[in-house]
Structure 1
Amino acid sequence: MKENRRKFIKRSALGAMVGMTAFTSGSRGNVVEERRRQEEALDRILAEPVLRLDALKDPVWIETVELLRKGDNFICRVRSKAGAEGLSVSNNMQMKHLYPIFVNRIQPFFIGKDAREWEKLLEEVYVYQSNYKLQNLAFWVPLATLEFAILDLLGKLAGKSMGALLAETIYHPEIAVYQANNYRGKSAEASIDLIEKQVRETEARALKFKVGGRMSHNADFPPGRTEALIPLVRERFGPEMTIYADSNGSYTADEAIRIGKIMEEYAYDFYEEPVPFDWYEETKAVCDAVNIPVAGGEQEPSLHGFRWLIKEDALDIVQPDIFYFGGMVRSMKVAKMAALKGKPCTPHISGSGLGYLYMMHFVSAVANAGPYHEFKGFNNDIPLESPSSSLSSKGGKVTVPTGPGLGVTLDPKFVAEHRVVRG
């Protein structure tokens, strides 16, 4: 494939898709002024409230915050003084290590607070007991767990879905999925057969596979797999399939650019985390050098870190993980900053629990959402009822549940089997 038409088509259409005015380069004399305007606009987004809670006229006093556990499954339950309840399921892969932070550093702060003031409370709990020193997954995963329970509570009281609490318009009542997989350690030939099997099962029209060796300083796993697999995936799925590749920070900048140039030949649609996630300058260098969109941000813990990556055009696509980044409110600010620069938001989804459901509600409210979103299969170990959605992929799309809060009901017997976690 001699030209990467998808990148040019996407970029030319993106401004219309996001419904916002992207900044464009001006003359040399206007560069300084334009950068100042961009910075002011980004800062306004960081300062603006996200949640739409006008329907809630009276305080929602938080009476209890509980973390419940059964084996390695964690449920957060919040109750108001008036008896309303919100539930969430955590990122269990992380919470089994992090629950003491929830119980000792987060839970006590919110007792007696008005849940409607969630955005102000986010700023305050960050400082409480010097929690900012824990910034990254250690702090943000437990806090996101609580936020999703709070949004479930507020959504039920307001009669709105989680997505409708985030935006006036539900932009995406259905989510088109891309099939994500990880077959590092297998040959290119073995990987492609497994990739195809998963894609056919979900009827997905997009896929993402792993390249490199994961934070491996240019080592492939096994050797030669990546360069054999890049053309093989395009050959197997044809020119119409949307194809993403994720290196998980496998490369130095020079090697990332070399691998990206191979992807260019086969019209790949984005290149995720080409270098280690905290190599900001190197990420920008790769983004400037390759002719396919560069995506990243799943490990980014800071709103101002995202501000820099967006302002400096170090990423073409932003990927906050709504668990790793501390919830939907903070992630929505990232999506809105990206929209100002004409960039899509394709959030990362971390595995286990009900992460896919929270991702769908978030994406439903994002005007500049990417065309496809991550799918790792549904968690059938958590019994729930969803009257408004089958929660299955049909024709490569999943319907976002409607109804108040999360829009699904966890089996009360399942919840009752969990026990309160003590400090």
Structure 2
Amino acid sequence: MSSSAPAPTGSRRRGLALIATAIVLTGLNLRTAVNSIGPVLEEIENGLGLSSGLAGLVTSLPVLCFAALGFAGPPLSARFRDSHVLAGALLAMAAGLVVRSLADGFPLFVVGTVAAMTGGALGNVLLPGLVKRYFPGRTGLLVGAYSTALSVGAAVASVATQPIADAVGEGGWRWALGIWAVAALVAALPWVLVRPSPGASRATHSAVRLRVLLRSRLALALTVFFGLQAMQAYVIVGWSAQYLRDAGLSAATAGLLLGVNSVVAIPVNAVVPMLTVRPRLQWPLVCFFMSCYVAGWVGLWTAPLAAPWLWMVLLGLGLGTFAMVLALLGLRARTPVTTTALSTVTQGWGYLIAGAGPLLVGVLRGATGGYDGMFVLLLVGVAGLWSLGWLVTRDRFVDDEIAHLLPVGAGATPDADRIGVAGTEAPVSSRVSRDGGSPRG
């Protein structure tokens, strides 16, 4: 697929730079509200009087919110400017973080969490399509940039949350959860400054019905793959620090190890998307990540105190599957519209699958008093990932599997090889190769 748009003018370049900045700052906030929970989970349990089962729900709730709220992305994008949708989502996120930190009971904590997850949920599903629309020739670079920012935000939240709580003293977990609202407010600002492009109109917007993608075997494989890799990530985020504390480490050390896990993911997420655009490297990458998962989980299960740093580093390398699947969403769809639809279905249903993981861990811990069930669940998930990896790394397009069901302008069709993709932002005109050409944009 090659762009047919003219070279950007100075004004256009400045607009693209602002959009790139907004995308990266949004990425920085996608996981702060989630990763700040794990290090102070015990304090949240005590402060709100939660059972082990409700603690499991606390760790699953963000993922369930990602699943439910993410489906609102395409309808909102069709009705309003993407920049306004994301600015509003980040402002809602900031408000939710504050409400969650002030909650005096579980119901209000849930309300705050749902609002706090709005920015992450909409950012998850809209950013891949925005990258495809505005930077079609630099998909690997931009996905790498915002997924790296995501890892930085996750790492800072993981490492800093417990020290913030300790520094404040009694009730410090509330400050440790609410302080991330500042970063969300900062990220909303560039989206407010993004100006609409001349000639953009909602009237020409082409949308893909999300249920159509359920007819695509590739979309279904990507959805389950995404769900299983996200389950690994959210069990790490939600339960690994508590597991290490129960194994005998201090709260500070356990939080630091969770931070190490997130820090390792930073360079991984920077490099993996640029490797993923090379088709021959995709399957070897899957095998490498799965091997790291197996070694990390088995080590943490059988000898948690022998080399906890090594186990968490290996799991951090395994988390490279996240950056890989984000890149694959752009590589397995031909247009920005289809990319956004694929991103929504994959992440919406995928996060629903993932949400069962942390919840089951909490239930199993409460029923058995231990963590054996957690490790069995995770290793079964790794086996599923390894099997699906072979399917999602094959060089195919979702558009081609459902071409007869797509509206004109939403994907490649036999009748037209020029596809106009227009919403409230600038339209992008692309020429789609019919010979199975490279999906690299």
Give TM class, smaller chain: under 0.3
Q: Which has the higher helix share?
A: 2
Q: Which has the higher strand share?
A: 1
Q: TM-score normalized by structure 2?
A: 0.22
Greater RCO (CA < 8 Å, at least 6 residues apart): 2
